[in-house]
Amino acid sequence: MRIVIGALLGAASILAIGQAAAATKLTIATVNNGDMVRMQSLTDDFKAKNPDIDLEWVTLEENTLRQKVTTDIATKAGQFDVLTIGTYEVPIWAKKGWLVPLDNLGADYDVNDLLPAIRAGLSLDGKLYAAPFYGESSMVMYRTDLFDKAGLKMPEQPTWDFIADAAKKITDKDNGVYGICLRGKAGWGENMAFLTAMSNSFGARWFDEKWVPQFDQPEWKNTLNFYVNLMKEAGPPGAASNGFNENLALFNSGKCGMWIDATVAASFVTNPKDSKVADKVGFALAPNNGLGKNANWLWAWSLAVPAGSKKVDAAEKFIAWATGKGYLDLVAAKEGWANVPPGTRASLYANPEYQKAAPFAKMTLDSINSADPNHPTVKPVPYTGVQFVAIPEFQGLGTAVGQQFSAALAGSSTVDAALAAAQAIATREMTKAGYIK
Amino acid sequence: MARRITTTRRITVTAGGWLAGFIIFFPILWMVLTSFKTELDAFSTPPQFLFFHWTTENYAIVQHRSDYIHHAMNSIILAVGSTVLGLAVGIPAAWAMAFAPTKRTRSTLLWMLSTKMMPPVGVLVPIYLIFRDTGLLDTHGGLIFVEFMANLPIIVWMLYTYFKEIPKDILEAARMDGATVGKELVYVLTPMAIPGIASTVLLNIILAWNEAFWTLNLTTVKAAPLTVFIASYSSPEGLFWAKLSAASTLAIAPIMVLGWFSQKQLVRGLTFGAVK
Amino acid sequence: MATQQTTTLGRILSAPSIILLFLWMIVPLAMTIWFSLLRYNLLDPGQESFIGLLNYRYFLTDPAFFTALANTLILVGAVLVITVVGGVLLALLMDQPILGRGIVRLMVIAPFFVMPTVSALVWKNLLMHPVSGLFAWIATLIGVQPIDWFTNVPLFSIILIVAWQWLPFATLILLTALQSMDEEQKEAAEMDGTPALSFFIYMTLPHLARAITVVILIETIFLLSVFAEIFVTTGGGPGLQTTNIAFLVYAQALLQYDVGGASAGGIVAVILANIVAIFLVRLIGKNLDA
């Protein structure tokens, strides 16, 4: 009896080992954005090329995903083998040694093809710590029909004054058309992403070289005043709780004359299935004030491998597949060039077929190229990151400041009061975290 | 036996009841309608009530993208598992507090409720670390335990209230007849408590079904219930209201069925007076 | 009536619940108290150091603290009033001989089935949105300016959403309690021609007292930690108008990853919840024993 059981156990364990050798299972944590969902549906191609690797997907809404992935990596729980993280996390986590440097992506990966701005945002000391899956900046999307009607012509590089002037001219509140839609909902990745990028073009900065908050400086006052006045005159009602998606819905249903937001929105607003104004959209660079910095940001959703993972080889194979040139061709072949994940590779923008399918290609590329995460502001700063400050405290701090700024927009607080509150909050948090001695 | 019910009264309360029901139900109805619209129609102005282009493409997309059955099964396992455990431990406790109260009963009850006072997010890290070290992350057992503990105070409280409603003289009569405590529990108390137990079960299954903090933070794949399924449709970059409505409609469908059956139990409770 | 025997039996029967809940409470609580005395950021592992009560000082002197406290109490209070009053009325209505009562009851309890995040998103974007929402359309239809819900009355909007979610809970519990009312009493009262209002005040309400108490206490516990609805609609803004204590703890825990600060916030929240509970018990607790 005992011998039989022993034999069975032995057989079972051999089977188990056999299976383990046959398939390494990668658990991939990713965001529920369209491009990642598409990647998930193209898994079969990867499986065909790598029969020994199984993929298991955890697809979640951005904030939930960020919480889970951060908790997991910080406690070394090891539930994920591939992480989808943004340009905010990569430099912080790489510095802590939480990510595996990706120096084994294969001979045909062509790391030099990655757009320099994006690559810089994902590297530390010259080493790439995450591979960009798609990249984005921000730009102006505007309604060509409304501009024609008002006799306006959008320059390729508008100034803020032009934007404000055009927004007021286009606004026709009786017919439900608002000159400009901008983010207003409080949050470090919501209104603060937009306002931080905007403040860069006004010459403002979050901190000076000694980490002293700068909300008491005139540049911030100009930024916020301009924003609040513009939105009061030409923005939609409810702007203080509008985020990316609310504005997208407004723009697509024809309520906005202009919208300054993520470049990936270009493919949504020009898609006739989702947009009433698909054939009436033009693009321009994010505005500036002639100070040398545009109001555009830089973000890349990227794939990384947590340090301590036992499946680094398989994970790198997957990353090389998902962010390589072959993947772009695969998506193009299956779903058309317009659906290729944008903003990561120079070769994509050199491809005439892509240029034809994506009218927003050039503007996206120019926007990304004009962002510099290592020198985001007019005056010198001790941090990196364009629409964020790449320090661990920024999520909380940015959200608290964002609440104040949304109050200024809602009219329940004044610009001066909001800035004073922001200065107090930032000073307090930075003191608590030990930046200000 | 039955009360005389005039026709006018019946018409009035029927109209009032349906009106109230409709108003309360309307946001859900709107969500279900939205799930059959295109993303573009979902936020069109003026809103479209019935004469829009009906489509099932959202359901097709959801079906194609995620494993609904897997998540629904996990939700059922979690909700039923934690409720069964809760009843097994909670019924005796509620019985004891209702029928053999001591000086400390009230403070015990309040203390039980106070175990729920900590905002979950405040204890996330301790629980996460315990789960990591005991290998309970992403397991049914671990999550059932959390939901069981989270809902036990509610179960005890609700059962206690319902048990208290049961007239004492019935129990005393049963005791006079020589019924043991066990028999009393099974033959006298339980049948009388059916409506109470039914609504306790329903509420706890709903609470476990919708619990979105622990389920999102402590599961990844294997034990991930419908809350995780929903979270993969909520707020992506891009229009999502129709798809989220479809996913959400799918997520509440099973529990609607359960709601239907348990509200029948509530009606049976009404006729129980006649047996007495 | 409680004999020695039943008392012992009662102890045995309630022991499993008490022991389990005690463990469930004490282990995380002890860890939380310990963490609350440390400088402990999840993003800085290995750097933990003992800092005494500094986390508490920062949490309590947060300029947002008192606003958040007030918002928490307003939110809890307002939702309680709406759900208890509405719940009693609905329960009475649902107890009537309505044609198709099953369906109506299901419709009334249905909001409880929807996940908080989803209901908040549906309310915000499909109903309350001042441009494309249904309410705005109704407003323009009757010729008034649409309400800009989350800008002008943000906290009230949240209260409305949360009350909608919890109304079914109150209704269900109160309805179940109504079922146990003596049918014969009702009939007798009707025969005697007792006015409906005085029957309600002198018979029904006292009968429902315990159930109402339970609704208030249980709801309070859940409402004190309302968070998802706020996060997806306003992100705590504009300003601090919709920031509550749970949101502050969230910001500490899952934005700052400041485990020390979040633990201190959690302990403060527990103390505040206890104060609220003690107050409530003083006010209505006698209904529990009756």
One-letter amino acid identity for A175?
Answer: N
SS3 assignment, position C40:
coil
List of chains touching C (3+ CB pairs within 8 A): A, B
Same domain flag for A223 and A281? yes
Residue A336 lies in a domain: yes
Residues 17-56 of A with CB under 8 A from B: 27, 29, 31-34, 37, 40-41, 56
State the distance between the two ends of chain B, measured CA to CA, in whole angstroms.
Answer: 13
- CB contact residues (below 8 A), chain B span 49-88, against chain C: none
The number of CA neighbours under 13 Å toward the Cβ of A228 is 21
Around Cβ C6, how many Cβ atoms within 10 Å? Answer: 17
DSSP strand pairing (A178-181 vs A256-262): parallel
C242 close to C229: Cβ distance less than 8 angstroms: no
CB neighbour list of residue B171: distance below 8 Å, 6 or more residues apart: B99, B184, B188, B189
- pLDDT value of position A326: 94
pLDDT of residue B267: 52
Can you give the pLDDT at residue A282? 95
Is A437 part of any domain? no
In the numeric block, which tokens belong to residue C62? 């947060």
pLDDT for the residue B178: 74
Q: Please tell me the CATH superfamily of domain C61-289, with its number.
A: MetI-like (1.10.3720.10)
User: Per mean pLDDT, which range of A198-212, A271-285, B39-53, C166-180 is the poorest?
Assistant: B39-53
Rounded Cα gap, residues A147 and A430, in angstroms: 45
- The tally of domains found in chain A comes to 2
Encode C140-156: b = buried (16+ Cβ within 10 Å), e = exposed: eeeeeebbbbbbbebbb
A437 interfacial to chain B (CB closer than 8 Å): no
CA A67, CA A74: separation in Å to the nearest integer?
11
pLDDT of residue C22: 94
A55 and A131 both lie in a single domain: yes
Q: Measured between alpha carbons, how far apart are the two ends of chain C, in Å?
A: 15
Which residue carries 């290995």 as its tokens? C46
DSSP letter at C143?
A: T
Q: What residue ranges of chain A have pLDDT lower than 50?
A: 1-6, 8-20
Name the B residues in 185-214 with CB < 8 Å from any C CB: 195-196, 199, 202-203, 206, 209-210, 212
Shortest Cα–Cα distance, A187 to chain C (Å): 6
3-class secondary structure, C281: helix
Question: What's the Cα-to-Cα distance from A241 to each of A96, A259, C46, rounded to whole Å?
Answer: 35, 15, 39
Q: Is residue A9 part of a domain?
A: yes
Q: How far is A261 from chain C (nearest CA, A)?
A: 19
Nearest to A397 by CA among A385, A388, A408: A388
Written as six digits, the tokens of B86 are: 């809760």
Helix (H) or strand (E) holding B220: none
pLDDT of residue B99: 82
Residue A351 domain flag = yes
Provide the chain B residues 146-205 that lie in CB contact (below 8 A) with chain A. none
Q: For chain B, what is the mean pLDDT?
A: 86
Q: Which two tokens stand for residue A272?
A: 């006739």
Is the CB of C107 less than 8 angstroms away from the CB of B114? no
Among A232, A189, A183, A223, residue whose Cα is nearest residue A205: A223
pLDDT digits (tens, 9 = 90+) for B206-248: 999 999 899 999 999 999 999 999 999 988 888 889 999 999 9
Asked if the C-beta of B46 comes within 8 angstroms of chain A's C-beta atoms, the answer is: no
Residues contacting B104, CB < 8 A, separation 6+: none
Q: What count of other Cβ atoms lies within 10 Å of the Cβ of residue A272? A: 10
Q: Give dist(CA B74, CA A337) in Å, integer.
A: 38
Band of pLDDT at residue B84, cut at 50, 70 and 90: very high
- pTM over the 0.80 mark: yes
**What residues contact residue A59 under an 8 Å CB cut-off, 6+ apart?**
A30, A31, A32, A36, A37, A40, B66, B232
Helix (H) or strand (E) holding C257: none
Domain membership flag for residue A81: yes
Does residue A303 share a domain with residue A285? no
A33, A253, A276 member nearest B236 (Cβ): A33
pLDDT of residue B177: 77
- The residues near B132 (Cβ < 8 Å, ≥ 6 apart) are A75, A77
Q: Are C221 and B116 in contact (CB under 8 A)?
A: yes
Same domain, A414 and A313: no
Q: A64 in contact with B at a CB cutoff of 8 Å? A: yes
E strand or H helix that includes residue C265:
helix C259-284
Same domain, A415 and A291: yes
The number of C-beta contacts closer than 8 angstroms across A and C is: 121
CA distances from B213 to A13, A225, B221, C227, C271 (A): 37, 39, 16, 10, 22
| Min Cα–Cα distance to chain B from A266, Å | 11
What secondary structure does DSSP assign to C81-138, as a single string? HHHHHHHHHHHHHHTS--TTHHHHHHHHHGGGGS-HHHHHHIIIIIIS-TTTSHHHHH
pLDDT digits (tens, 9 = 90+) for B103-126: 888 889 889 988 888 889 889 999
Q: How far is B214 from chain C (nearest CA, A)?
A: 13
Nearest to A374 by CA among A83, A87, A138, A86: A87
Nearest C-alpha neighbor of B62 from the set B244, B255, B253: B244
Q: Tell me, what's the pLDDT at A17?
A: 45
Choose from A93, A403, A425 for mutation: most chain C CBs within 10 A.
A403
Looking at residue B42, what is its pLDDT? 86
How many angstroms separate the CA atoms of A245 and A261, rounded? 10
Cα distance between residue A298 and residue C73, in whole Å: 41
The verdict on B40 touching A (C-beta cutoff 8 Å) is yes
The answer to whether the CB of A69 falls within 8 A of the CB of A47 is: no
What pLDDT is stored for residue A18 in this prediction? 44
CATH number of the domain at B67-232, please? 1.10.3720.10
Q: Determine contact: B6 vs chain A, CB below 8 A.
A: no
| Domain span holding position A149 | 138-297+375-432
Tokens 């080889």 sit at which residue? A313
Question: In Å, what is the CA distance from A191 to each residue of A36, A201, B265, C19?
Answer: 24, 16, 50, 48
User: Is B44 in a helix, a strand, or coil?
Assistant: coil
**Residue type at A87 in one-letter notation:** T
Domain boundaries, chain B: 67-232
Lowest mean pLDDT among B145-149, B151-155, B182-186, C49-53: B182-186
Nearest by CB to A238, which of C42, C151, C257? C151
Residue identified by tokens 């979902």 is B42
Nearest-CB residue to C266 (from B9, B122, B166): B122
pLDDT class of C6 with cuts at 50, 70, 90: confident
Domain end marker among A324, A357, A390? A357
Q: Which helix (H) or strand (E) holds B244?
A: helix B241-275
Positive or negative CA dihedral for C209, C212, C214, C217? negative
Please list the residues that pair with C138 across neighbouring strands.
Answer: none
Q: Are residues A157 and A105 in the same domain?
A: no
Assigned domain for A365 exists: no
- On whether both A53 and A108 belong to a single domain, the answer is yes
**Mean pLDDT within C56-71:** 93
Taking only Cα atoms into account, the Rg of chain B, rounded to an integer number of angstroms, comes to: 23
Q: What are phi and psi of A340, to 5 degrees?
A: -70, 140
Q: What is the mean pLDDT of chain C?
A: 89
The angle that helices B140-165 and C205-224 make with each other, rounded to 10 degrees, is 160
Instruction: Say how many Å lie between the first and final Cα of chain A, rounded.
Output: 73
Which CATH number do you get for residue A346? 3.40.190.10
Chain-centroid distance, C-alpha C133: 27
